[in-house]
């Protein structure tokens, strides 16, 4: 099992929809700053949370409501110009 370093002051968002050619961003949760095999000391408000071995900092976020690490959904494709 790995450990995810959570940065609660940083938000993760993704493109959830398109308004014409403009992306619509939705905030998902808090940033997973790093994933490591072993924990090391960090300054508050950063904190460690055990996570699955497939978690990566770039593809996951921390959901403070459910207290879980969740994969960032895939963004919808950009609409074609007509």
Domains of the chain, by residue range, sit at 2-71
Mean pLDDT of the chain: 97
Whether the predicted pLDDT of 81 surpasses 90: no
The mean pLDDT value for 17-44 works out to: 97
Q: Say what the pLDDT of residue 74 is.
A: 97
Q: What percent of the chain has pLDDT over 90?
A: 96
List b or e across 7-29, with b for residues whose CB sees 16 or more CB atoms inside 10 angstroms: beeeebebbeeeeeeeeeeeebb
Structure tokens at 57: 């900092």
The mean pLDDT value for 7-35 works out to: 97
Whether the predicted pLDDT of 82 surpasses 80: no
């Amino acid at each position: 099992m790995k450990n995810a370093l959570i940065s609660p002051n940083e938000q993760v968002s993704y493109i959830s929809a398109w308004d014409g050619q403009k992306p619509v961003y939705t905030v998902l949760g808090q940033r997973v700053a790093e994933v490591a095999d072993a924990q090391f000391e960090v300054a508050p408000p950063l904190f460690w949370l055990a996570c699955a071995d497939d978690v990566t900092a770039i593809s996951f976020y921390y959901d403070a409501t459910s207290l879980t690490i969740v994969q960032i959904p895939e963004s919808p494709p950009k609409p074609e110009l007509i």
